[in-house]
Amino acid sequence: MQINLQTFLKQIANKVELSGNKLAWVVANYSDINKSDKKSFYESLVQYYPVSDDIKLKRFEITIEKDEKELESFVNKDFRIKSLKLNKALLI
């Protein structure tokens, strides 16, 4: 299934192992954080990172687009090729 980066980050932040993890929550919550390099990432992350430990980190509600639902139907399916024939006319 191909999903956008923000949806993927929200799915990760919703994992039980990361409940209460401020970094995972901030990166998933703010799509305008610059992820192009370390320095830009840090500089854009700092403005959103909560200093206080008593903030409530809510779980994300993830809505799946129509195209993503269609792609889900292909998950865990076997699409191996049973046979393959080459045509000499197509070989260069």
Tell me if 57 sits within 8 A of 19, measured CB to CB. Answer: yes
The predicted-structure confidence for 8-63, as pLDDT tens digits, reads as follows 888 888 888 888 888 888 888 888 888 888 888 888 888 888 777 767 788 888 77
pLDDT above 60 (res 69): no
Confidence class of residue 1 from pLDDT cuts 50, 70 and 90? very low
Would you list the domain boundaries of the chain? Answer: 5-90
Pair of tokens at residue 76: 């865990």
Confidence at 66, pLDDT banded by 50, 70, 90: low
Predicted TM-score (pTM) of this structure: 0.57
Q: What is the DSSP string of 4-73?
A: -HHHHHHHHHTSGGGTT-HHHHHHHH-TTS--SSHHHHHHHHHTTS---S----PPPP-PPPHHHHHHHT
